[in-house]
Structure 1
Amino acid sequence: MSWLGPYQILLKLLLVGLAILSLSRLGLAIWQWDRVTSAVNLPLFFIQGVRADLIMLGMLIAPLALLMPLLVNKYTWRFWQKLVWVWGTFIVILVVFMETATPAFIMQYDLRPNRLFVEYLQYPKEVFSTLWEGFRVPLILGVSLTIIAGILFSTMLKKWLSQYRLDWPVWKLWLTWPLLVLLLVVMIRSTMAHRPANPAIFAITSDAMVNSLIINSSWSVYFAIYNMQHEAEAGEVYGSLTDDEIMAEMDQNYPWLNADPDAPFPTLNKRESSITRDKPLNLVIILEESMGATFVKSLGGEHAVTPELEKLKDKGWWFEQLYATGTRSVRGIEATISGFLPTPARSVVKLSLSQQNFFTIADLLNHKGYFTEFIYGGESHFDNMASFFIGNGFESVIDQDNYQNPVFKGSWGVSDEDLLNKAHNRISEMHQKGQPYFSLVFTSSNHSPYEFPDGRIDLEGSEKQTDLNAVKYADYALGEFFDKAMQSDYWQNTLFLVIADHDLNVYGDALVPIERFQIPGLILGADIKPKRIKTVASQIDMAPTLLSLMGISAETPMIGRDLSRPEEHQSTGRALMQFADYFALMQGEKVTILRPQKQALEGHYSPDTRQLEILGPAEEEDAHEALAHVLLPSWLYRQQRYDMPLGHPAYR
């Protein structure tokens, strides 16, 4: 390589990086052989993978390349060599670390590391506990391989640099350097199109996990960080519509809106409750961590580990086709208590513009005289929950510091028993005072590393700390709570919603694994009579339905359907789902899927087989309708126009 002069060391760095990333991709492909080979042509898989690797390595090598004219001379030669040694070692450590972290992340999320990898770095205690208890071997292997690779490459790079001579005159470097810059630009852009390449370009199969394998984890995380800086406009990755076009679609789909794009709160609408009550009911929402339909036999799940929920379903309104809006807890929170639609951005629970003056049913009920409280067994600062809740209508937050002598305490806080006992005591206390109340109770026992007290359940299998046993324990605690609640004085004037935030592992070989978005939902308590709701429903429909059953007529910005009305729960219904970079609008069995910078697709989902079949490009009208649904929440968030006049600073 001597003819390359000072550029030879950059080429060696590039080749080493390509070798590491290609070997990692090969190993991942062998591990996921059936899914990879059934989804994509192997030569195309690896060729596109090298293309993605060149993008990331081009960005990593660029700082050295840009400094060459200043540092490659006889005065700064030693400094240049040290810089190459430090930066080159960093590149290899970064790439190896991200690739060794990939298998464990795929096992948990069925995708390469993405924005969640970055978001959870804020919570080292919880993340390390989860990794140590649930992924100890991958963690130790990954850290060990990263250290070994760093030491070996550092030694090898130091040897290369010792043989590296300054044998080019400065004029020759300056003459050829623009060609290097041009080459790097071509590598990083990877396309002659108007926009540079991004991970969406490499989504060439109908399997989201295989698409993620084509790229590399360093680039996947880098692009997630980049998008997080621009997430106010995140919905626009699918296309754009004018404000009037968005509102026209909303009016057509939700006739109760009469939406006005120029109004302070464009989706503000007043709906009368379907039930008239002398005194509105109290409300308790029990949000079950990761208790998806996968674990509920009557919903087609593979595992029957929720016998208590199965018994309870015959005592209230049971939703047979209820779907989560996303794959994370905060997404379930925003949909259930705010009725807010999902977007490709982070949940509004975490975003800065929604920490105050953002609608929640807690804020509405607070203004109607209710005491509003969030009850959690872990640390309420996790996922920014406490800040969002206190800023938007919750008067009280109870977390793990508020439990005296809990029965059990694990990595994620106290057990579901402790949590629901606390909820029972708080509800009883408010009832005795005659105080109207709303409680959001969020469980956590069904969370890796799946810790719970002994002696409560008959274990599934020989190992205790598994997802099946954690769900079974969470179900046990739920049954214990309702045994007490049904015997309590507060039962007759309290409405309960039991609902999951999302399924545990949302994965599958479909572009959007819809079967993994299905969750149980049950409304019971007070005078609620048993009923089966068969229509397709979303978490965003829960709050409007609950308010109506409580006997509360209200003006809110929520667009969700009131399923207490016969015309609504007898319709085909619709659900909205955000999965990684894909957005799905399901209406009955028809599914429209939006993809970043690509044509929308039409699919058919069968609830009987729980399979999604992609039929081809979506009709323009359907794509337009789905696009309006994903652009609306981004626009409302950016404009800070998802609230109600009641209590808003501008209307005080």
Structure 2
Amino acid sequence: MGRFVALIMGSFLLQKTIFILYNYQLIGSMSCSDYLAVLWHGLSLDFAVVGYLIALPLVLVLVSYAFSSFPARRVFLIYHALIAVVLSLVFIGDTGLYPFWGFKLDATIFQYLDSPQNAFASVSLLFLCIGILMAVLWAGGLFFLLQRAVGKSWERGQRPLVGLGLTLVMFPLTFLVIRGGVGRSTTNVGQVYFSQSQFLNHAAVNPLFSLVSSMDKAEDFDAEYNFFSEEERAKLVEGLYPQEAPAAEELLRSKRPNVLVIILESFGAKYIASFGGMPGITPNLDRLAREGVVFSECYANSYRTDRGVLSTLSGYPSFPQHSVMKMPAKSRSLSGIAQALQGVGYKTDFLYGGDANFTNMKGYLLSTGYQRVTDDATLARDLPRQSWGVQDHATFDYLYNEIMKRGEGEPWHTAFLTLSSHEPFIVPYQKFKEEVPNAFAYVDDCIGQLADRLRKTKAWDNLLVICVADHGYFTGEGKGRHTSYIHHIPMLWFGGAVKEHRVIDRLMTQSDLAATLLAQLGLSYRAFPFSRNILAGNYTYPFAYYTFNDGFGFIDSTGVTVMENVGANILEEHPAPSEERVRRGRALLQTTHDDLSRR
């Protein structure tokens, strides 16, 4: 068993080396430390694949102990041949196709199998012949080594009880290796991302893991929610997302402020009095709202953090049953606020007190412009923690100290995702007896302290702080967790870069932050087709659209409609039914899924 692991791991390391050498022209220069970093960061996915490959042999070994007549040698010969062929095809395909595709082998390849003539139209016959020859040689060599070094080791030995005991011990260890440990996040492609260079990140990814993990996401998205003909769909969404236009109002004193986006975990507007919520819970946000810009009619695009963060930072809509963040093949096609700011000289980074590998978040962040990601794994081990990670007051302190280290020359953008206003709501703070409002009050206190500390420094003068929630939080009120009341979230801009207090009551969603912010900075937001500059003169039909598990909400000046797709059940509708809101919501479901399919 040890020989099997060593041999397969060795082949993976050799594959990475060959991948880098073959595609070296795509990066131009690469240091020895970069090469070692690729090998090191890729180990976790390599071991996960080994875990999958060893699972079946473990079962077969148990069978051989139960039945002495089991033809172990013949079965493992077939298994070794299968492994050799699969690994060879995946490795050669990934290495050879990367210069054409620019991303790791994934389920996209299956879209071309229906038309192999078109699939191979861009490559020469010589290229194909060399690829086939290399695949045959690699498969033959790996099969020979597996049979020579490993073949007999799978068979029942002279000490069956010892062998049986070791095999049973290996099962839970294999499960942990496949899962990626006992933490909240499970093994995903993004966990090996470590660099601003996408080539280095891609080189670290095990191609077989990339292929298999993407297969359950290789759905025919444009076949979902086909309510209308193309002509009717286009007519229903016409004008909903206006073309790029300058802001009709200027909210900022500077075109190049330092931008701090604080994404507030689960922080629905119902907890903030200045946004129409309960009084007394968030006195700090309320006082900051009296001096900043309040976007009073903002709604969360979805109901989960992975969806909300992506909608906020990439200006992309959410989906009822798909998390784009978990789809590297799709999320890498998205633009990002960080990417746009980096393009005009901003330094960018992301801070989170929890595990940034959860839901492939780290991979998404690095692919959309964040140069550095700081999370639980890189923060000091002696910081106070709860089940999700470092408590917010400690990460707010870390953020303040980081800001104080920054000079006045180069502009910067930091995004910070909080975590303490989330189950289990255990916080080192006591204002209310009820744990839920107490946790939100704790986060509010952290925001107030940060603002007060920064206000006393030069950093405040050119600072724009944007507080926006990822989604709301349901505690049993109203008609359910997907009502407009729950999806109503705060968005507040404050800091020295803000001109004056304003209340902007135009309907919007968090995905409109990208276009609205970039327009205020005089930057193009053309790369964000689903994000609207709500301060533009052509934003003439304000509306909010959001999704939840197989349902959607649509809000405009006529009212609110929230509907489940299954059975077309209406969950919320006021002040009166509206067929037009239903039709437009369905048209957006169809439009967004069509767009996702094309990415």
Is the shorter-chain TM-score for this pair beyond 0.5, marking a shared fold? yes
Change (3 A) 1:346 1:599: closer
Letter matched to residue 460 of structure 1: F
Q: Who is 2:517 aligned against?
A: 546
Take 1:531 and 1:422, find their aligned partners in 2: how far apart are those partners? 30
User: Post-superposition shift, 1:245?
Assistant: 4.4
- The alpha-carbon deviation at position 334 of structure 1 amounts to 1.6
Structure 1 counterpart SS, 2:263 = strand
Q: What displacement does 1:537 show?
A: 2.0
Distance of aligned partners of 1:403 and 1:229 in 2 relative to their CA distance in 1, 3 Å threshold: closer
2:342 is the counterpart of 1:371: no
SS for the counterpart of 2:526 is strand
For residues 568 and 184 of structure 2, what CA distance do their matches in structure 1 show?
A: 39
Distance in 2 separating the partners of 1:341 and 1:367 = 23
Q: Check if 1:496 corresponds to 2:554.
A: no
> Equivalent of 1:460, from 413, 418, 432?
432
Q: Check 1:567–1:315 CA distance in 2 against 1; reply closer, same or farther (3 A cut).
A: farther
Q: Normalization by structure 1: what TM-score?
A: 0.55
Q: What is residue 411 of structure 1 aligned with on the other side?
A: 387
In 2, distance between residues paired with 1:344 and 1:604?
19
The aligned counterpart of 2:454 is: 485
Native 8 Å contact 1:292 1:502 kept in 2: yes
Amino acid in the other structure paired with 2:590: L
Quote how far apart the aligned CAs of 1:594 are: 4.4
Task: Report matched runs for 1:613-632 at 5 Å.
Answer: 615=576, 618-619=578-579, 621-632=580-591
Q: Does the Cα contact within 8 Å between 1:350 and 1:383 map onto a contact in 2?
A: yes
Please say if 1:322 is aligned against 2:298. Answer: yes
Partner of 2:490: 520
- How many Å apart are 1:247 and its aligned residue? 4.0
Residue 449 in 1 paired to residue 424 in 2? yes
Cα offset for 1:272?
6.3
CA displacement, residues 137-164 of structure 1 (integer Å, 9 cap, x when unaligned): xxxxxxxxxxxxxxxxxxxxxxxxxxxx
Q: Does the 8 Å CA contact 1:376/1:400 hold for their aligned counterparts? A: yes
* One-letter code aligned to 1:434: G
Counterpart residue number, 1:362: 338
TM-score by length of 2: 0.59
Partner of 1:240: 227
Determine the structure 2 residue equivalent to 1:57. none
Contact 2:246/2:522, CA 8 A, preserved across alignment: no
CA contact (8 A) 2:348 2:369 kept: yes
**CA shift for structure 1 position 532:** 1.1
Tell me how far apart the structure 2 counterparts of residues 513 and 123 of structure 1 sit (CA, whole Å).
Answer: 37
Deviation at residue 404 of structure 1 after TM alignment: 3.1
Find the aligned partners of 1:278 and 1:313 in 2 and give their Cα distance: 20
Aligned to 1:536: 507
Shift of residue 624, structure 1, vs aligned partner: 3.1
Q: Deviation per CA, 1:16-55: give whole Å up to 9, x if none.
A: xxxxxxxxxxxxxxxxxxxxxxxxxxxxxxxxxxxxxxxx
Which deviations, in whole Å up to 9, do the C-alpha atoms of 1:245-288 show, x marking residues without a partner?
4444333223x33xxxxxxxxxxx46568549875222111001
8 A contact 2:315–2:510 mirrored in 1: yes
Look up the SS of the partner of 1:252 in the other structure: coil
Equivalent residue in structure 2 for 1:331, among 303, 307, 310: 307
User: Which amino acid in the other structure matches residue 251 of structure 1?
Assistant: E
Is 1:253 aligned to 2:222, yes or no?
no
- 1: distance between equivalents of 2:319 and 2:394? 34
AA in 1 matched with 2:502: K
The structure-2 alpha-carbon separation of the partners of 1:563 and 1:291, relative to structure 1 and needing over 3 Å to count, comes to: same
Superposition RMSD in Å: 3.2
Q: Give 3-state SS (helix, strand or coil) of 1:444's partner.
A: coil
What is residue 440 of structure 1 aligned with on the other side?
Answer: 415
Q: CA deviation at 1:337?
A: 0.9
Paired residue secondary structure (2:238):
helix
Aligned pair count reads 391
Alignment CA distance shift 1:460-1:595 (3 Å): closer
1:558 to 1:316, Cα distance in 2 relative to 1, 3 A: farther
2: CA distance, partners of 1:403 / 1:564: 38
For 2:425 and 2:254, the matched residues in 1 are separated by 44
Give the C-alpha shift of residue 233 in structure 1.
4.6
Gaps of 5+ in 2: 1-178, 187-214
Displacement of 1:362 after TM fit? 1.3
State the alpha-carbon separation in 2 of the partners of residues 469 and 550 from structure 1.
37
Partner amino acid for 1:545?
T
With over 3 angstroms needed to count, the CA separation of the structure-2 counterparts of 1:599 and 1:459, relative to structure 1, is: closer
| Alpha-carbon distance, 1:567 to partner | 7.0
- Shift of the 339–281 alpha-carbon distance from structure 1 to 2, 3 Å rule, reads same
Residue identity (%): 26
* Counterpart contact for 2:224–2:590, Cα < 8 Å: no
